[in-house]
Amino acid sequence: MEGGTLLVRLNRYLSMCGVASRRKADELILQGRVKVNGLVVKELGWRVDPHRDVVEVDGREVKPATYRYIILYKPCCYLTSLGGTKEGKRTIEELIKDISERVYPAGRLDYNAEGLLILTNDGELAHRIMHPRHKLPKTYLVWVSGIVKGETLDAMKRGAVLEDGPAKPDSVRLVKHMKDKSLIEIVFHEGRKHIVKRFVSSFGHKVIRLKRVAIGPVRLGKLKPGEWRDMTKEELKSLRQALGIKSFVRD
């Protein structure tokens, strides 16, 4: 910080502008293709003021992309993919046709699952949401066959060994018992394929319905299946903090 101004490394700034990844941005800088305020900069540690400095790549001024952050309630029986109908199945693309920006899902939900998806054109945030290193918890409501007993819940809390390795949820709790089924809440921070269904099945219970209600601090709220809304500033701030992302600061 200089004189109260928040600075950001040049390679990160170029990445934020959608020019290239940080690694590729370093190559552009070393090749002398980047100018700051009219001067060629070849120093990899150079920092810029995103609000004041003029940055050019190959003579063209670049600016941070306008990012969009969408919360979508994916209904059951929709593919988490873009590009129109696939194999006769509907995709979430038809639900977001009125979004002008090219956003894409930060993570997936199974075809038969429903609930919260975050869509964005912010590559850094999407990458961190999906990367297990950041341990962002995902909360699911799971309707299962049969009555889940107390000893089964205790065993679930201890975890299970699946065909692709151990799986231990962050938390498990019983929401309620019904006539011939149970509703439980499970939180996982990892996203292995079908992990919730496989985990529950390993305890002898079949998943009837699966709904993701939260990703980190962001909750599905009152959205109905097929509806979407823009993330609030407060939600985005909380999510970025949970992922260790800071805007326009030293890194």
Q: Name the residues annotated as catalytic.
A: 110
Within 8 A by CB and 6+ apart from 2, the residues are none
Q: Cβ distance 219 to 115 under 8 Å?
A: no
Residue 223 to residue 33: CA distance in whole angstroms: 47
d(CA 53, CA 249): 15
DSSP letters of 194-229?
THHHHHHHTTT--EEEEEEEEETTEE-TTPPTT-EE
Compute φ and ψ for 99, nearest 5 degrees: -95, 120
Picking from 70, 94, 100, the residue whose alpha carbon sits closest to that of residue 82 is 94
Nearest to 105 by CA among 85, 90, 122, 119: 119
Output DSSP code: residue 112: T
Q: How far apart are CA 19 and CA 62, in angstroms?
A: 8
